[in-house]
Amino acid sequence: MALLEVDGLDAFYGRIRALEGVSLRVAQGEIVALIGANGAGKTTTLRAISGLMRAAKGHIVFDGHDIGRLGPAEIVRRGIGHSPEGRRVFARMTVRENLELGAFTRTSGAEFAEDFERVLAIFPRLRERLTQKSGTLSGGEQQMLAMARALMSRPRLLMLDEPSLGLSPILVQTIFRVIREINERGTTVLLIEQNARQALGIATRGYVLEVGKIAFEDTAANLMASEAVRAAYLGGGAA
């Protein structure tokens, strides 16, 4: 059984339909990429999964339990970490405090210390910045912090929303390397990316969203080879 199963999700902003019958599944240990143009509904899908917005229709089942009616705090507790679009680090708090907040649902001090070390091992740059206000970090560092923070809840599923957004190519490489590393250490990943090639490069499978609907679904390799995907991004290629 899949770790996460989303079935027939509809979501609205006011009267505007943002998602229409979105279904996807993420199996334990996978990296699944969700790609698509701006406004296609990728972020909305993640927000619905983590409980930040309520879907009008459909089911979200995580680890065998329907989480569609739960609040975001409870969903985090159940094991879904979400690093939101635009990083959303707590700018007026230090890096350390941000990480502590990431472990908000955890109670064991020992586990915290362990995770803290583990996360800092993945992102050594953050160690140098522990006492700095996170608002003063560079964009790349903030992205690392956002991911590290999400990892601090020791999630079984980590959802990453545009982790490479606005980063320099060299940093993008780092971020993707880290995502793979996180996955290899046992965390399942659901990844939104506009950098499709990169995303599909590390993903097991992928979904292409178009105007609120899943347009394609396939293995990453197939999608990468697909003219349709290429067309969706660069246009004209198929014409």
Partner 1 sequence: MTRRHAALGFLGLALVVYPFVDRNNSHVDFLANAGAFILLALGLNIVVGFAGLLDLGYAAFFAIGSYSYAMLASQQFGIHVPFWLMLLIAPVVAALFGLLLGAPTLRLRGDYLAIVTLGFGEIVPQTFLNLSQYTNGPNGISSLDQPSLFGHAFGFSATPYYYVLLGLIALGILAARNLQNSRLGRAWMAIREDELAARHMGINTTATKLAAFALGASFSGLAGVVYAAKLDLVSPDEFGFNVSVLVLSMLVLGGMGNIWGVIVGSFVLSFINSFLLPQSTSLAHAAGFVNVDFTNYRFMLYGVILVTMMLFRPEGLIPSRQRAAEFHEAILDPALAAQEQSEYEGVAR
Partner 2 sequence: MDVFFQQIVNGLSLGGIYALIALGYTMVYGIIELINFAHGDVYTLGTFFSLAILTGLGVSGEMHGLPLVGVVLVTLIAAMLLCGLTGVLIERLAYRRLRNAPRLAPLITAIGMSFILENVMQLWHGPSPISFPEVIPNPAWALGGVEVSAKQIAVIGLAIVMMAALQLFIYKTKMGKAMRATAQDRDAAQLMGIDINTTIAVTFLIGSALAGAAGFVSGVYYGTTWFFNGFEAGLKAFTAAVLGGIGNVAGAMLGGFLIGLIEAIATQYIPGGAQWTNVVVFSVLVLVLIFRPSGLLGESLPEKV
Partner 3 sequence: MALLALDNVTKAFGGLVAVKELTFELDAGGIAAMIGPNGAGKSTVFNLITGIYAPSSGSIDFDGRSLRGLRTNRIAARGIARTFQNIRLFAFMSALDNVMTGRHARMGASMFDSLLHTPRQRAEERRVRERARELLKFVDLERAGASYARNLPYGSQRRLEIARALASDPKLLLLDEPAAGMNPREKDELIALIGRIRDSGVTVFLIEHDMNLVMNVSERVTVLDHGEKIAEGSPDAVRRDERVIEAYLGRADGAA
Residues of this chain that interact with partner 1 (CB under 8 A) are 13-15, 47, 52-53
Q: What distance in Å separates the CA atoms of residue 33 and residue 26, rounded to the nearest whole number? A: 10
The runs of H, that is alpha helices, within 1-138 are 42-49, 72-78, 95-102, 109-122, 124-128
User: 3 touches which of partner 1, partner 3, partner 2, none (CB within 5 to 8 A by kind)?
Assistant: none
Q: Between 84 and 155, whose beta carbon lies closer to partner 1?
A: 84
Nearer to partner 1, 31 or 209 (CB): 209
DSSP conformation class of 237: S
Per CB under 8 A, 90 contacts partner 3: no
Residue 147-186 contact track with partner 3, rule CB under 8 A, x = bound: ---------------x--xx-xx--xx--x----------
Rounded Cα distance between 202 and 67, Å, is 28
The footprint of partner 2 on residues 115-174 (CB under 8 A) is 135-136, 149-150, 153
208 within 8 A of 215, measured Cβ to Cβ: yes
Report DSSP state, residue 238: -
| Cα atoms found within 13 Å of the Cα of residue 8, Cβ hemisphere only | 3
Interacting residue ranges for partner 2, rule: CB under 8 A: 50-52, 71-73, 76-77, 81-82, 84, 88-93, 97, 100-102, 104-105, 135-136, 149-150, 153
